[in-house]
Amino acid sequence: MAIRRPDPVPAPLRLAEWSMLRVHLIWAYRGPPSYSHFAQPENATSIAWRIEKGSVRIVGERSSAVRAQAGSWLLPAGDKILHDFSDDAIITSIRFKAHWPDNVPLYDDRQSVMFAARRFPKFEAATAQLQRLVSNFSHRRGGQLLLMHESLNFNQYQRLSRVMSRWIEVYAGVMARLGVPLGVTGQHDPRVAQARQAIEDLSMQQRLDERALAKTVGLSPSQLNRLFVASTGMTARAFAEKRRVDFAREKLITSTMPIKEIAYLLGFHHPSHFSAWCRKKLDVYPTEYRVLNNVDVTKTLG
């Protein structure tokens, strides 16, 4: 099989498209895995594990099973449904989001990516810097729980943003050198890109006004939806609703935020209305969703 040698930078896209990329860190820690044995579908985030000691085996719903040993980096496929760490495992765990608005990841995650840590010393250094910084900010074990809800002053926030941006930059270089393609199928119609950005700019409490959105980009509602379906596979309204569902899913899994607070952030005046909405969108009530995903108020996933 021929070896691809792409440029060590992401492929060029229009600025309007890059501006839709959303990046944030969920946690960064070094230590034993929070859940050594876990058998559930993952939520829509990305994971990078450096195996410091021991080993891990992962199984995907469609992707190949992979075993990683000490000294390796493993970036599990997005369809991971099981991981099993050895009892002596020590890892550096980076959980993050680098996704487009429709939750397509920055890089194709249909297969797991594994490589020797020594191969990319800049990635090692950027990860160590990120992990150290997070451990300084977080009052919880390893910085792995509720990082997004830590209180930071402006200077701390700016520093974390710079260090995370540097980590993503180095990560992108690694993925490019490994030949992993961007997780975006191609350039979108600029009017769709503009409309998607307008949807992204809405607060979670705001409802989409399709007519106003179509007028903003110089289209009729039916034209906008035809372009949206061609680009994303869904209408503008469905796209906006999926964004809200993904937000709820992420908060339920990666935080211990009270249900009523999540409901308020999504614009529900009564938690019971939010529960009914979750039942419709996720097939279960929010408290059940947390139980099914092994969310503990004192722990998070590894």
Q: Identify the pLDDT of residue 142.
A: 42
pLDDT below 70 — which residues of the chain?
1-11, 16, 101-102, 138-146, 148-149, 184-188, 294-302
Q: Identify the pLDDT of residue 102.
A: 66
| Strand-by-strand arrangement of the 66-69 sheet | 37-38, 80-85, 55-60, 66-69
Q: Identify the pLDDT of residue 139.
A: 54
Q: How far is CA 69 from CA 21, 52, 86, 111, in A?
A: 32, 8, 10, 18
Q: Identify the pLDDT of residue 296.
A: 53
Whole-prediction pTM value? 0.73
Q: Identify the pLDDT of residue 120.
A: 97
Q: Identify the pLDDT of residue 20.
A: 76
